[in-house]
Amino acid sequence: MFLAAAGQSSNPTLAVGSDFPDTDALDLLFSPSVTAVGFDIFQNFGGGGQSGSPQTYVASVFGTGGLIGSFNTVVPSGSAGFFGITSTDPIVRISLLGPNAFEVIDNVRFGAAAVPEPASMLLLGTGLIGMGARRWRKRQQRG
């Protein structure tokens, strides 16, 4: 891992990256797992020299059940590309691999996607049971 100074890879702030081109990916590990992740990706071809053309980076996303999927993100030269995902399978790792490049990321955000609270589901269920009981009681009084 290395820290890229602001402006080194067109990143506006301090960023982190992989320091072995062609041999490894930048892995993000999440413990506990998360359901939503997003980050900016910058090109860095050694010492901040830009390639001059857009490059495709592959983000392989792994959940508790294995590979969720692999996703391509095109990163323009001199500016950021963005990768983001939400998943119903909890995310435990993202492996980012660029073409002949150091993988550099910034502005990483992660957390849990919004899910219904158990209390809300309990209130809905109780209301449906109450409506059913009222209807049943009216039928019993008529008949």
Query: Could you tell me how many residues make up the chain?
Result: 143
Listed by start position, the domains of the chain span: 2-112, 117-143
DSSP-based three-state secondary structure for 106 = strand
Alpha-carbon separation of residue 85 from 38, 48, 61, 74, 79 (angstroms): 6, 27, 9, 15, 20
Predicted model pTM: 0.69
For 2-112, CATH gives 2.60.120
Q: What are the pLDDT digits (tens) for 128-139?
A: 888 888 888 888
- CA angle, residues 111, 76, 47, in degrees to nearest 5: 90
Q: What are the pLDDT digits (tens) for 31-82?
A: 999 999 999 988 765 444 455 788 889 999 999 999 999 999 998 877 788 9
Q: What percent of the chain clears pLDDT 70, i.e. is strictly above it?
A: 76
Q: CA-CA distance, 71 to 94, in Å (whole number)? A: 11
